[in-house]
Amino acid sequence: MFEPYIALLLLILIVGGVGLVIIILPRFTAKRAPTREKLLPYECGNIPEEDARGRFPVKFFLVGILFVIFDIEVAFLFPWAVIYKELKLFGLIEMGIFLIILLIGYIYIVKKGGLKWE
């Protein structure tokens, strides 16, 4: 009854084991030499001017959220492209409607100034 799931269970166990090895092994094998410079928030050579947990402008998060939303919507184009020949004209019209709605949303965001970084 559960025979088809044995391969899945085996895969989960192998992936979990590899993940644990990747996390635990460096604790025993890595050379550690903490210095004052390495313990700073950045290792780029710049001295931090303020706390790393400072506040970010809301605009930063708005642009990030908009990127994620449009990125996910564009991800819907891939399955459509895979079965485009099977959908024929109906699929083309449906995707056209989807893209028009996406374009209207994008124009709305541009008009409201959601992508202006000032």
- Alpha carbon distance 28, 97 (integer Å): 57
pLDDT computed for residue 16 by the predictor: 97
For tokens 């449906």, the residue is 94
pLDDT digits 0-9 by tens, 59-97: 888 888 888 888 888 888 888 888 888 988 998 899 999
**CB count in 10 Å sphere of residue 76:** 13
DSSP 26-55: HHHHS-----TTTTSS--SSPPP-S-TT--
| CA dihedral sign, ordered 7, 11, 12, 16 | positive
pTM of the entire predicted model: 0.49
Confidence category of residue 41, pLDDT binned at 50, 70, 90:
low
Domain ranges (residues) in the chain: 3-112
pLDDT digits 0-9 by tens, 10-20: 999 999 999 99
Q: What's the mean pLDDT when you consider all of the chain? A: 85
**CATH architecture of the domain covering 3-112:** Up-down Bundle (1.20)
What are the tokens at 27? 């604790």
* DSSP assignment letter at 5: G
What are the tokens at 4? 């088809």
Confidence category of residue 57, pLDDT binned at 50, 70, 90:
confident
What are the tokens at 109? 């965001």
